[in-house]
Amino acid sequence: SSELTQDPAVSVALGQTVRITCQGDSLRSYYASWYQQKPGQAPVLVIYGKNNRPSGIPDRFSGSSSGNTASLTITGAQAEDEADYYCNSRDSSGNHYYVFGTGTKVTVL
Protein backbone atom coordinates (compact mmCIF):
# COMPACT_ATOMS: atom_id res chain seq x y z
CA SER A 1 0.00 0.00 0.00
CA SER A 2 1.02 3.62 -0.50
CA GLU A 3 2.23 6.16 2.01
CA LEU A 4 1.76 9.93 2.03
CA THR A 5 4.33 11.95 3.95
CA GLN A 6 3.80 15.44 5.36
CA ASP A 7 5.95 17.70 7.49
CA PRO A 8 4.78 17.36 11.11
CA ALA A 9 4.47 21.08 11.80
CA VAL A 10 4.81 24.49 10.18
CA SER A 11 4.27 28.00 11.46
CA VAL A 12 3.21 31.15 9.66
CA ALA A 13 2.89 34.78 10.68
CA LEU A 14 -0.59 36.24 10.58
CA GLY A 15 -1.35 37.42 7.04
CA GLN A 16 1.58 35.60 5.47
CA THR A 17 1.66 32.61 3.14
CA VAL A 18 2.32 29.00 4.07
CA ARG A 19 2.67 25.92 1.87
CA ILE A 20 2.01 22.41 3.16
CA THR A 21 3.34 19.52 1.12
CA CYS A 22 2.33 15.87 0.75
CA GLN A 23 4.65 13.38 -0.90
CA GLY A 24 3.90 9.92 -2.18
CA ASP A 25 4.15 7.72 -5.23
CA SER A 26 0.36 7.50 -5.64
CA LEU A 27 0.30 11.26 -6.30
CA ARG A 28 1.94 10.65 -9.66
CA SER A 29 -1.31 8.97 -10.72
CA TYR A 30 -4.05 10.39 -8.51
CA TYR A 31 -5.13 13.79 -7.26
CA ALA A 32 -4.92 14.65 -3.58
CA SER A 33 -7.69 16.07 -1.46
CA TRP A 34 -6.99 18.14 1.64
CA TYR A 35 -8.77 18.23 4.99
CA GLN A 36 -8.63 20.72 7.83
CA GLN A 37 -9.21 19.46 11.36
CA LYS A 38 -9.55 21.73 14.36
CA PRO A 39 -9.35 20.36 17.91
CA GLY A 40 -12.42 18.39 18.90
CA GLN A 41 -13.98 18.64 15.45
CA ALA A 42 -14.46 16.36 12.47
CA PRO A 43 -12.28 16.95 9.42
CA VAL A 44 -13.49 19.38 6.76
CA LEU A 45 -12.68 19.16 3.05
CA VAL A 46 -10.84 22.30 1.88
CA ILE A 47 -9.30 21.40 -1.49
CA TYR A 48 -9.78 18.58 -3.99
CA GLY A 49 -8.58 17.67 -7.45
CA LYS A 50 -6.28 19.98 -9.36
CA ASN A 51 -7.36 23.06 -7.38
CA ASN A 52 -11.02 22.99 -6.40
CA ARG A 53 -12.61 24.46 -3.31
CA PRO A 54 -15.93 23.30 -1.88
CA SER A 55 -18.57 25.91 -1.32
CA GLY A 56 -17.82 27.98 1.76
CA ILE A 57 -14.04 27.50 1.75
CA PRO A 58 -12.20 30.84 1.50
CA ASP A 59 -10.22 31.52 -1.66
CA ARG A 60 -7.04 31.94 0.37
CA PHE A 61 -6.84 28.13 0.21
CA SER A 62 -5.39 26.72 -3.01
CA GLY A 63 -3.89 23.47 -4.22
CA SER A 64 -1.27 22.37 -6.72
CA SER A 65 0.58 19.25 -7.73
CA SER A 66 3.84 18.29 -9.40
CA GLY A 67 5.25 14.80 -9.80
CA ASN A 68 4.91 12.93 -6.52
CA THR A 69 4.10 16.05 -4.46
CA ALA A 70 0.80 17.78 -3.77
CA SER A 71 0.70 21.13 -2.03
CA LEU A 72 -1.85 23.15 -0.10
CA THR A 73 -1.18 26.88 0.12
CA ILE A 74 -2.80 29.34 2.48
CA THR A 75 -2.29 32.87 1.19
CA GLY A 76 -2.83 35.45 3.90
CA ALA A 77 -3.20 33.04 6.80
CA GLN A 78 -5.77 33.92 9.44
CA ALA A 79 -5.90 32.95 13.08
CA GLU A 80 -8.80 30.59 12.34
CA ASP A 81 -6.61 28.62 9.91
CA GLU A 82 -4.61 27.19 12.81
CA ALA A 83 -5.40 23.49 12.60
CA ASP A 84 -4.14 20.09 11.51
CA TYR A 85 -4.15 19.45 7.77
CA TYR A 86 -4.24 16.04 6.10
CA CYS A 87 -3.87 15.04 2.49
CA ASN A 88 -5.62 11.99 1.06
CA SER A 89 -5.44 10.15 -2.22
CA ARG A 90 -6.23 6.86 -3.81
CA ASP A 91 -3.89 4.08 -2.86
CA SER A 92 -1.99 2.19 -5.51
CA SER A 93 -3.80 -1.01 -4.39
CA GLY A 94 -6.68 -0.26 -6.70
CA ASN A 95 -10.06 1.37 -6.99
CA HIS A 96 -11.59 2.67 -3.79
CA TYR A 97 -8.57 2.12 -1.62
CA TYR A 98 -7.37 5.31 0.02
CA VAL A 99 -4.62 6.60 2.27
CA PHE A 100 -4.23 9.69 4.47
CA GLY A 101 -1.07 11.67 4.89
CA THR A 102 0.70 11.87 8.21
CA GLY A 103 -0.71 15.31 8.93
CA THR A 104 0.72 18.82 9.40
CA LYS A 105 0.04 21.06 12.37
CA VAL A 106 -0.20 24.68 11.20
CA THR A 107 0.42 27.34 13.83
CA VAL A 108 -0.48 30.96 13.05
CA LEU A 109 1.79 33.33 14.97
Specify the residue, 39 or 67, whose C-beta has the smaller distance to another protein. Answer: 39
- CA–CA separation, 34 vs 49, rounded Å? 9
Least Å distance, CB 79 to another protein, is 23
**Contact at 8 Å (CB) between 60 and 52?**
no
Shortest Cβ 45–another protein spacing (Å): 5
When the beta carbons of 77 and 90 are compared against another protein, the nearer one is 90
Q: What does each C-alpha distance from 69 to 8, 16, 23, 27 come to in angstroms?
A: 16, 22, 4, 6
CB of 78 to another protein, least distance (A): 22
- Which residues sit at the interface with another protein, rule CB under 8 A? 1, 30-31, 33, 35, 37, 42-45, 48-50, 52, 54, 84, 86, 88-90, 93, 96-103
Region for residue 27 given its phi and psi (left: phi exceeds 0; alpha: psi -120 to 50; beta: otherwise) = alpha
| Residue 24 or 103 having the CB closest to another protein | 103
Are 35 and 44 in contact by the 8 Å Cβ rule? The answer is: yes
Q: Which of residues 15 and 94 has its CB atom nearest to another protein in the complex? A: 94
Closest CA to 23 of 101, 79, 98, 96: 101
Report, in Å, the least distance between residue 14 CB and another protein. 26
